[in-house]
């Protein structure tokens, strides 16, 4: 069976260099040590991510590194050693680079599988370069090239699609997953750091990421099936993380960071998400740090149920000059939020001014981040925003700009950075940072006037629904929760970016080199182009998006 072109690994993919050296060089020895330990802890999560993508991702990762070590990273040696052509060698290297960049054989943005551009026989010849690589390849070669049934090429609910959040569970269904989800909500169980395994008798193991190994509470679904709590998923990796974060604790730059690291360690050693929530409370209180970081099971985009999160860890250096701009936006947030097209009843009683920093970080992280995602913490303590300056400005010299008219191209090239910074700043602070969930916080207690509820700006009538006790955004909206929230934040950014006062906060007026009207024009042009590029992630056969 021939492989459809959209499933083939990228050819000559653009590579962007992220500049951070000057910022890192300015750190003190203690700051560098603090960053070093957190970086090591983050990298220890590599295999956790691989295991959250597909069963073949981790052995494929090992195979690529085994070959690279054997040829001492000189892939030209493969040509003679394996009797392959220069083109075949290049295609193997490009596939390997894509696996390493995505930490798996499914795109980290798009959730679609990609397969090598070389035949299976050629890949087998290259893998035979060492006995270790050959053995790894023998166990996964069918999965790497598998594209049928078609659903297996997309992450989603098993058994029709691929999801490693439900390992060794060939018979598990969406109904099974939802039944367990209802049980977890009913019992107040946090599942972001878990995976779910169905046993032969139809019962389940909830696999908890932790250094400790053992069993915990047992729950029961509505139809009487048991769910057993099993600690020790990724135990080896969680120990390495905990040990490194212990080192970061010793190098912490203040008491708040020390307590934050202490809670991270407790969370990863014991499998306690309550400890992780406590770490996030300290993180919010760590205002204006030189080194910014976060680590844990954070975003739920890739779990089809929208409740289990993938691991991520990052550490970055604050860019103090750009941070001043975002600080001005934070100070004026109380002036800008009321301009949104809904009443104050849909906003928090008091806007918690967050820390908003511009960072210089390493690869694999987005242009902007707004966390924590725990609703109860966001409602009471608030959140923090970060903007990754070197990611915002990263551009490959070989990148071809599509869908932009020739007459707009010079302006687009010149202002795409400032326009994207405007969009990301508004998206993160006033998009994710605005609004509140109407909730029954505990039985009979509401965070809004239940007898005289807010009037919907869409219907003109009082709202009739709200979140019940134990319900969260993710548990209610499931797989669409993340995309829904991202679209909401994006719409807020597009709604507010024409505001002249906001444009001036970012340094754009009629008299500046990056003129306000031009930046606004490129902001909308950039969003329109993003919409066209997003069509790549629509699968007409399955009638589904391949990303959220």
Phi, psi of 542 (to 5 degrees): -90, -5
| Bridge partners for 207 per DSSP | 195, 230
d(CA 471, CA 467): 6
DSSP secondary structure letter of residue 317: E
d(CA 266, CA 236): 15
CB 129 within 8 A of CB 82: yes
d(CA 224, CA 222): 5
Tokens standing for residue 235? 């135990």
Tokens standing for residue 245? 């974060």
CB 416 within 8 A of CB 522: yes
Tokens standing for residue 497? 């970016």
Phi, psi of 176 (to 5 degrees): -60, -45
Residues with a catalytic annotation lie at 428
d(CA 371, CA 281): 11
| Bridge partners for 388 per DSSP | 359
CA–CA–CA angle 15, 20, 26 (5° rounding): 170
Helix (H) or strand (E) segment spanning residue 327: helix 320-336
Beta strand pairing status for 214-220 and 226-233?
antiparallel
Beta strand pairing status for 214-220 and 194-198?
unpaired
Instruction: Please list, in sequence order, all residues whose beta carbon lies within 8 angstroms of the beta carbon of residue 166, skipping any fewer than 6 positions away.
Output: 158, 172, 177, 195, 196, 197, 198
Tokens standing for residue 20? 């951070």
Cis peptide before 372 (omega within 30 of 0): yes
């Amino acid at each position: 069976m021939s492989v459809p072109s959209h499933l083939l690994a990228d050819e000559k993919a653009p590579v962007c260099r992220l500049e951070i050296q000057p910022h890192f060089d300015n750190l003190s020895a203690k700051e560098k040590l603090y960053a070093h330990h957190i970086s090591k802890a983050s990298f220890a999560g590599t295999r956790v991510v691989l295991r959250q993508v597909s069963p073949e991702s981790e052995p494929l990762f090992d195979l690529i590194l085994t070959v690279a070590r054997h040829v001492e990273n000189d892939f030209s040696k493969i040509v003679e050693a394996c009797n392959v052509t220069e083109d075949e060698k290049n295609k193997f290297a490009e596939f390997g680079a894509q696996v390493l960049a995505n930490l798996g054989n499914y795109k980290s943005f798009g959730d679609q599988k990609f397969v090598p551009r070389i035949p299976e026989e050629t890949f087998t010849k290259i893998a035979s370069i060492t006995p270790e690589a050959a053995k790894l390849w023998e166990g996964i070669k069918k999965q790497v090239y598998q594209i049928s049934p078609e659903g297996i090429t997309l992450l989603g609910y098993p058994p029709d699609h691929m999801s490693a959040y439900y390992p060794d569970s060939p018979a598990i269904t969406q109904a099974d997953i939802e039944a367990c989800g209802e049980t977890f909500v009913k019992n107040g169980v946090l599942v972001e750091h878990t995976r779910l395994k169905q046993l032969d008798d139809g019962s389940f193991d909830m696999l908890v990421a932790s250094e400790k190994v053992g069993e915990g509470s047992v729950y029961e679904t509505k139809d009487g099936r048991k769910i057993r709590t099993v600690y020790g998923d990724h135990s080896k990796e969680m120990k390495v993380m905990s040990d490194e974060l212990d080192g970061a604790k010793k190098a912490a730059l203040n008491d708040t960071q020390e307590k934050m690291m202490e809670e991270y360690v407790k969370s990863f050693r014991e499998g306690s998400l309550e400890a992780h929530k406590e770490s996030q409370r300290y993180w919010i209180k760590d205002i204006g740090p030189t080194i910014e970081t976060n680590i844990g099971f954070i975003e739920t985009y890739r779990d089809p149920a929208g409740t289990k999160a993938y691991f991520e860890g990052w550490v970055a250096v604050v860019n103090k000059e750009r941070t001043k701009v975002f600080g001005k936006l934070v100070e004026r947030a109380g002036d800008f939020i009321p301009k949104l097209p809904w009443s104050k009843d849909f906003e928090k009683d008091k806007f918690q001014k967050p820390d908003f920093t511009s960072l210089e970080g390493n690869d694999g992280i987005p242009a902007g981040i707004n966390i924590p995602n725990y609703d109860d913490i966001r409602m009471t303590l608030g959140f923090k925003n970060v903007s990754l300056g070197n990611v915002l400005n990263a551009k490959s010299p070989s990148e071809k700009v599509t869908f932009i008219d020739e007459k707009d191209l010079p302006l687009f090239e010149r202002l795409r950075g400032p326009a994207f910074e405007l969009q990301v700043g508004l998206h993160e602070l006033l998009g994710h940072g605005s609004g509140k969930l109407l909730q029954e916080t505990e039985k009979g207690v509401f965070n809004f006037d239940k007898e005289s509820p807010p009037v919907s700006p869409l219907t003109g009538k009082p709202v009739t629904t709200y979140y019940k006790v134990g319900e969260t955004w993710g548990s209610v909206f499931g797989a669409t929760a993340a995309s829904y929230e991202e679209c909401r934040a994006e719409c807020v950014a597009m709604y507010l970016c024409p505001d002249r006062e906001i444009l001036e906060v970012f340094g754009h007026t009629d008299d500046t080199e990056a003129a306000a009207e031009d930046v606004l024009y490129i902001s909308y042009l950039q969003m329109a182009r993003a919409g066209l590029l997003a069509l790549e992630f629509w699968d007409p056969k399955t009638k589904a998006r391949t990303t959220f």
